[in-house]
Amino acid sequence: MQSHEQLQTVARETLRKNDRGGYTLPTQGLYPFQWNWDAGITALGWMTFDPARAWREYETLFSGQWGPDHFGGANDGFLAQITFHQDSDTYFPGPDQWGTDSLAIRTSSISQPPLHATMLRWMWKQAVRTSERDKTLAPQRDMAEACLQDLLPKVIAHHRWWYRCRDPQGTGLVVNIHPWETGMDNSPAWDDPQSAVLPTQRPYVRKDLNHVDASMRPPKVFYDRMVSLMDFNSACGFDPKRIFAECPYRVNDIGIISILQRSSIDLVALCQEFGLQDSATEMQQHVDRTQVAVESLWSERWQQYVSRNARTGALLDVPTSAGLMAAYAGFQKDCADTVDSWLDETLYGIPSTRSTYIGFEPLRYWRGPIWQHINMLIAVGLADQGHVELADRIRVDSEILLRQQGFHEYYDPTNGRGLGGGEFSWTAATYLYWIEPNASR
Ligand code: GLC
């Protein structure tokens, strides 16, 4: 069992080791580029000991954002799942696979859960608190203010992209067009919708199996379908209208919907604070619409929100941790009792798929293992809604795991063993921002 001091040192070293001068790798080898939602969580970690570096992570991430001049402009505001600042041959599909060679900074052509306004608001609060506590640190607040003034219009554009391109009919529920967009790549919730995708016939070489045992990674047929969806996207010239209409995969993911909802709520608050009243009003309208629409994703069986196959209209009645971010999103039902039951069923926090579900697999990607940043989002959301004890139970479970095992990509919920990539950035950041006893969130 490592002490908090040791763990804090290792967490900081982990971020420094993975630092590529402006962006942080999730881990070396397995993920050699900048990932979208990893960057947001990782910035929280940097914020606890090097605020300038935290803001830099965000500048670098948004340097890859698509604008009005990219691919006809219809994707203005798009922020990619992966930004390829440098080449690497340890990952598939790498920079040459997505059809984005014409970009100055190449990116993938799908997005990831848009948690940024929330992360930025938390960073802003931290900067304000620090400068109030110690007046000599006032420049930190000035830096934060200047960075936010630059970033806010970009984040607003990003939210507009989600609502405009992924919910063109204004239903209040955005869709995603690739399982990797959800960040929960291989969740059993996608088994039904992805079975409609024709596997690619083109040859390619996977690289993930060079880093991690096959028992923990998705099977070949899943990859064949992922490649097929990636190629479909570029064959459409990234035209969002065509993709929305014709993509063989279209899902209302409760994870993205919850994270976007919370982010829009935080964006409203930031816009109000920074004098952007019109954008605040615009985002509030989206929040109000989603608040009502999300009730159609309630599962009586599992007593939580779930996802839906937007092509067939069928509810994907699978209990995953994505549906437990209800308190975080401020939805009508906060799911606290359901979270409580999940915690009774496993020893080490919240698994990605409920352990009593028939498709639960403790080792395989997003089919059972625990991801710490998800625990953090669920717990912070519960605490915000007044479920302080329950939130602390999740935090303590996570603390035990990290003190025993260090900073892995994910953990086996049946025995706590650390799995996947090692020296993992967002796990270390989660420790620094949320678990470390002096963390001032
Ligand atoms: C995997 C995860 C995804 C994450 C990425 C980098 O693809 O499923 O959520 O962003 O790794 O950590």
Whole-number pLDDT of residue 440: 66
Residue nearest to atom 2 of ligand 1 (CA): 183
pLDDT, tens digit, 9 for 90 and up, residues 148-175: 999 999 999 999 999 999 999 999 999 9
* Best residue among 112, 184, 185 to mutate for probing ligand 1, ranked by most atoms within 8 Å of CB: 185
CB atoms within 10 A of CB 277: 10
pLDDT, tens digit, 9 for 90 and up, residues 286-304: 999 999 999 999 999 999 9
pLDDT, tens digit, 9 for 90 and up, residues 307-335: 999 999 999 999 999 999 999 999 999 99
Please state, in angstroms and rounded to a whole number, the distance separating the CA atoms of residues 157 and 263.
13
Query: Is 282 assigned a catalytic role?
Result: no
Contact 267, 283 (CB under 8 A): yes
- Which numbered atom of ligand 1 lies nearest the CA of 371? 9
Which segments of 333-421 are extended strands (E)?
Answer: 410-411, 418-419
Q: How remote is the CA of residue 115 from the centroid of ligand 1, in Å?
A: 14
Contact 242, 236 (CB under 8 A): yes
Band of residue 212 on the pLDDT scale cut at 50, 70, 90? confident
- Which numbered atom of ligand 1 lies nearest the CA of 26? 12
Instruction: For the chain, give the mean pLDDT.
Output: 97
Which segments of 310-358 are extended strands (E)?
Answer: 315-316
Task: Calculate mean pLDDT across residues 71-78.
Answer: 97
Whole-number pLDDT of residue 217: 83
Q: How remote is the CA of residue 282 from the centroid of ligand 1, in Å?
A: 31
CATH number of 4-435: 1.50.10.10
Query: Is 345 assigned a catalytic role?
Result: no
Q: Over 70: is that where the pLDDT of 436 sits?
A: yes
Nearest alpha-carbon partner for 430 in 371, 383, 387, 388: 371
* Best residue among 18, 28, 35 to mutate for probing ligand 1, ranked by most atoms within 8 Å of CB: 35
> Phi and psi of 392, rounded to 5°?
-70, -30
Whole-number pLDDT of residue 316: 98
- Which numbered atom of ligand 1 lies nearest the CA of 184? 8
How crowded is the C-beta side of 395, counted as CA atoms within 13 Å?
22
Residue nearest to atom 3 of ligand 1 (CA): 183
Residues ≥6 apart with Cβ < 8 Å to 130:
51, 137, 140, 141, 440
Task: Calculate mean pLDDT across residues 359-363.
Answer: 96
Q: How remote is the CA of residue 321 from the centroid of ligand 1, in Å?
A: 15
Residue nearest to atom 4 of ligand 1 (CA): 183
Q: How remote is the CA of residue 422 from the centroid of ligand 1, in Å?
A: 13
Q: Over the Cα atoms of the chain, what is R_g?
A: 20
Catalytic residue among 59, 145, 185, 224: 185
Q: How remote is the CA of residue 96 from the centroid of ligand 1, in Å?
A: 19
- Which numbered atom of ligand 1 lies nearest the CA of 36? 10
Contact 316, 251 (CB under 8 A): yes
- Which numbered atom of ligand 1 lies nearest the CA of 185? 8
Contact 221, 400 (CB under 8 A): no
Q: Is the peptide bond before 193 cis (omega within 30 degrees of 0)?
A: no
Q: How remote is the CA of residue 183 from the centroid of ligand 1, in Å?
A: 6
Q: How remote is the CA of residue 419 from the centroid of ligand 1, in Å?
A: 13
- Which numbered atom of ligand 1 lies nearest the CA of 38? 10
pLDDT, tens digit, 9 for 90 and up, residues 216-254: 788 899 999 999 999 999 999 999 999 999 999 999 999
> Phi and psi of 190, rounded to 5°?
-90, 0
Catalytic residue among 409, 412, 423, 436: 409
Residues with a CB atom less than 6 Å from ligand 1:
26, 31, 35, 37-38, 183, 185
CB atoms within 10 A of CB 293: 16
Q: How remote is the CA of residue 38 from the centroid of ligand 1, in Å?
A: 7
* Best residue among 38, 88, 226, 410 to mutate for probing ligand 1, ranked by most atoms within 8 Å of CB: 38
Query: Tokens standing for 291?
Result: 């608040």
Please state, in angstroms and rounded to a whole number, the distance separating the CA atoms of residues 48 and 7.
14
